[in-house]
């Protein structure tokens, strides 16, 4: 089967720097679920400095994006939030990993 | 010397200045209770963890300092969920400490194990699962700081039993957690705010819980008086501006007066302070205050533009903002607007009641207010009585109305009143409740009797879930479904059974004398007041409608 990207280019990426502990994923994913924000992909890995992780979130280019960001900023374990328009959404294309 | 996690917690609570906590012990909090026995902290034994949670909230709402609640794992934790969610929606600083099964058993479906951390993620400001006794030294002070800083809220600390029992050497105690300094507006924002007020012809203030939280009552009064601005309040704004003031517009929204809605419609400047544009306040938001430029001041950045776009959004403390804006304002009330305000208030007055015959709920609320005094702390439950109190009780001071606004929790009133009375010894506390609400936490009458707190429980008894009945009456063709109680408990006998003085003013020939007598004596009392089942809270804006489309009179239709 020929593999094509399943990720439309209209998506946006938000980068988070978070405290590296087991609950942080629940906080971030739960926020998107209960506020009915679309979260389409998550990539997460530890930072070399230790104790912190970088999380990339793939979200729809929704009208409420600023509200999403402000709500993320309120989470205690989220240390930094920024948009990453420089990254291509195809980063999240896991079809090749199948 | 080594001390264990439980003792570390009680020492940290003492260092935090916590004098009273509420809770119920259980298997996973036994070490903590053992430590409490050796501590200065006074423990109030509730009869249900939800009651304990609302006692903690009552302490917090009355003082602004974080109240503390203790619950065991499993059902203890699930029972406090409602009180945590309630504190979140009303932005009330609270710290909930829950016991958890020992670390080694987490994830094994152990006895009384529940994922408290996971359950409280969506309803707490922050939450912790403590993994070692040493962590408590940073987590506990941080929890208090978080609960009280910025927009206040509930913080949950889940402490496994083995962590409570782990002994460690404490070299140095951490500094108690304290409220972070309030954020302040920029000079540009202050100038823009002042300019908008100066230029406006028809300004209106809309104030809420954020004014209470930032203790900005005097500044709001200065702004209103100085520039001649009428003041509409959300439920949690009541008390932050004196009800008797000529510029008071009372509560806005679903049960607000016609004049309040009209003045908001006519406003060319809306000054929204510490509010979140809740649907109960704004009605249909697209038709709320459509002609006004909006200045929105709130400590929570995510509230600005969330529901109503602001022309000037200021993420800052309300008091800190007004302190900087006020000196820039000329004290020049806009006389035309003041005349218009007076005219509309005269033509479409705020709800009023002049008589003391107790036939109407409004008159009853006022009769009680007269006897309770202006600094009385009032708690309410949720329902018709709550809205009658909001409409008719002449609140003069902040933190004198404690009510579940956001979550709307029936069962809030009684335990919150106990908490308020504990936090403010000597204060008169009145709990307005309904027969539906009181039954939801009636077991706390035992706690009330034990503490002997000066709480007068005023029971508006209509044998219905009144606000449900009212909506079925108004919007569902009068088809009453499950809103009438066919059994009418003898609340006077029940209260007496708990050892609480109780009277029924319906049976008393001299109802007012009866009230006088209740308020003359110290300590707890319950007053049962029969209310006509057909009485509706009016005006009422149908849910989803614009505030101007309020129903002001109920057509008398027989639903027999």
Flag whether pLDDT at B560 surpasses 50. no
In a mutagenesis test of the B interface, which of A26, A32, A72, A73 is the best target, namely the one with the most B β-carbons within 10 Å? A26
Strands B312-315 and B293-298, sheet pairing? parallel
B136 CA: distance to closest CA in chain A (Å)? 16
Chain B's closest residue to A24, CA to CA, is B121
pLDDT for residue A1: 45
Chain A's closest residue to B305, CA to CA, is A67
Helical H runs in chain A? 24-34, 65-74
Chain B's closest residue to A64, CA to CA, is B306
Q: What is the pLDDT of residues B484-537, one digit of tens each?
A: 999 999 999 999 999 999 999 987 777 888 899 999 999 999 999 999 999 999
Q: Where are the domains of chain A?
A: 11-86
Q: Are B366 and B353 in contact (CB under 8 A)?
A: yes
Instruction: Give the DSSP letter of residue B283.
Output: B
CB < 8 Å to A27, chain B: 121
Strand partners, A81: A16
Task: Identify the band that residue B380 occupies on the pLDDT scale cut at 50, 70 and 90.
Answer: very high
Q: What is the pTM of this model?
A: 0.95
**Comparing B349-353, B382-386, B457-461, which segment has the lowest mean pLDDT?**
B349-353
The shortest CB-CB distance from B121 to any of A30, A66, A67 is to A30
Two tokens, residue B98: 């829950």
The CATH number given to A11-86 is 3.30.70.260
In a mutagenesis test of the A interface, which of B122, B158, B307, B308 is the best target, namely the one with the most A β-carbons within 10 Å? B122
Q: What is the pLDDT of residues B394-432, one digit of tens each?
A: 999 999 999 999 999 999 999 999 999 999 999 999 999
Q: What value does the mean pLDDT take over residues A69-79?
A: 95
Task: Identify the band that residue B349 occupies on the pLDDT scale cut at 50, 70 and 90.
Answer: confident
Helical H runs in A15-91? 24-34, 65-74
Strand ranges in B240-292 using DSSP code E only, listed in sequence order: 248-251, 269-273
pLDDT for residue B137: 98
Q: For chains A and B, what is the number of CB pairs under 8 angstroms?
A: 25
Q: Do A76 and B121 touch (CB under 8 A)?
A: no
Flag whether pLDDT at A73 surpasses 50. yes
pLDDT for residue B425: 95
CB < 8 Å to B139, chain A: none
Helical H runs in B373-465? 384-392, 413-423, 435-438, 444-451
Distances (CA, A) of A30 to A23, A34, A78: 11, 6, 13
pLDDT for residue A77: 94
Q: Is A29 on the interface with B (CB under 8 A)?
A: no
Q: Do A67 and B305 touch (CB under 8 A)?
A: yes
Q: Is A79 on the interface with B (CB under 8 A)?
A: no
Q: Do B302 and A30 touch (CB under 8 A)?
A: no
Flag whether pLDDT at B393 surpasses 50. yes
Q: How far apart are CA B109 and CA A39, in angstroms?
A: 30
The shortest CB-CB distance from B302 to any of A30, A70, A76 is to A70
Strand partners, B100: B160
Q: Is A73 on the interface with B (CB under 8 A)?
A: yes
Q: Do A23 and B127 touch (CB under 8 A)?
A: yes
Flag whether pLDDT at B557 surpasses 50. no
């Amino acid at each position: 089967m020929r593999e094509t990207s399943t990720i439309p280019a209209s998506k946006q990426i938000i980068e988070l720097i978070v405290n590296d502990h087991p609950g942080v994923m629940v906080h971030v994913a739960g926020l998107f679920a209960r506020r009915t924000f679309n979260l389409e992909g998550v990539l997460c890995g530890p930072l070399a400095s230790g104790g912190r992780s970088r999380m990339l979130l793939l979200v729809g280019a929704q009208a409420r994006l600023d509200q999403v960001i402000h709500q993320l900023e309120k989470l205690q374990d989220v240390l930094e939030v920024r948009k990453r328009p420089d990254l291509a959404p195809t980063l999240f294309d896991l079809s090749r990993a199948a | 010397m080594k001390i264990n996690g439980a003792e570390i917690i009680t020492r940290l609570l003492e260092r935090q200045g916590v004098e009273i906590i509420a809770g119920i012990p259980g298997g996973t909090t036994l070490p903590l209770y053992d430590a409490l026995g050796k501590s200065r902290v006074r423990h109030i034994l509730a009869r249900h963890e939800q009651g304990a949670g609302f006692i903690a909230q009552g302490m917090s709402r009355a003082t602004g300092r974080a109240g503390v609640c203790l619950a065991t794992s499993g059902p203890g934790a699930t029972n406090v969920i409602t009180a945590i969610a309630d504190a979140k929606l009303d932005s009330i600083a609270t710290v909930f400490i829950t016991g958890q099964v020992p670390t080694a058993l987490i994830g094994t479906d152990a006895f009384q194990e529940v994922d408290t951390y996971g359950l409280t993620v969506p309803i707490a400001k922050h939450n912790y699962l403590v993994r070692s006794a040493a962590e408590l030294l940073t987590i506990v002070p941080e929890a208090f700081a978080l609960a009280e800083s910025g927009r206040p809220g509930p913080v949950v600390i889940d402490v496994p039993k083995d962590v409570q029992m782990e002994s460690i050497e404490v070299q140095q105690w951490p500094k108690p957690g304290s409220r972070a300094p309030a954020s302040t507006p920029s000079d540009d924002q202050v100038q823009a705010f002042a300019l908008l007020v100066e230029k406006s012809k028809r300004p209106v203030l809309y104030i809420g819980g954020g004014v209470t939280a930032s203790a900005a009552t005097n500044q709001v009064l200065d702004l209103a008086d100085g520039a001649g601005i009428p003041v509409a309040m959300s439920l949690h704004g009541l008390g932050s501006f004196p009800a008797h003031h000529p510029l008071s517009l009372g509560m806005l929204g679903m049960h607000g007066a016609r004049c309040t809605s009209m003045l908001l419609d006519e406003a060319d400047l809306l000054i929204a302070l510490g509010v979140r544009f809740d649907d109960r306040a704004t009605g249909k938001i697209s038709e709320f205050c459509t002609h006004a430029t909006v200045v929105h001041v709130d400590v929570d950045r995510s509230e600005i533009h969330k529901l109503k776009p602001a022309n000037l959004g200021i993420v800052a403390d309300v008091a800190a903002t007004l302190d900087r804006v006020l000196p820039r304002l000329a004290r020049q009330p806009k006389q035309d607007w003041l005349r218009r305000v007076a005219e509309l208030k005269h033509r479409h007055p705020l709800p009023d009641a002049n008589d003391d015959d107790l036939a109407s709920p409004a008159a009853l609320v006022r009769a009680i207010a007269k006897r309770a005094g202006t600094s009385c702390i009032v708690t309410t439950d949720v329902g018709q009585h709550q809205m009658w109190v909001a409409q008719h009780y002449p609140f003069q001071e902040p933190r004198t109305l404690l009510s579940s606004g956001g979550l709307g929790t029936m069962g809030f009133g009684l335990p919150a009143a106990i908490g308020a009375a504990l936090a403010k010894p000597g204060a008169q506390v009145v709990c307005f409740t309904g027969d539906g609400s009181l039954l939801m936490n009636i077991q706390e009458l035992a706690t009330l009797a034990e503490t002997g707190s000066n709480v007068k429980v005023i029971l508006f008894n209509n044998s219905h879930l009144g606000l449900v009945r009212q909506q079925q009456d108004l919007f569902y063709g009068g088809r009453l479904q499950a809103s009438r109680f066919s059994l009418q408990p003898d609340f006077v006998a029940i209260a007496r059974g708990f050892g609480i003085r109780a009277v029924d003013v319906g049976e008393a020939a001299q109802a007012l004398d009866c009230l006088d007598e209740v308020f003359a004596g110290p300590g707890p009392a319950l007053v049962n007041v029969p209310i006509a089942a057909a009485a509706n809270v009016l005006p009422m804006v149908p849910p989803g409608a614009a505030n101007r489309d309020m129903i002001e009179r109920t057509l008398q239709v027989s639903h027999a």
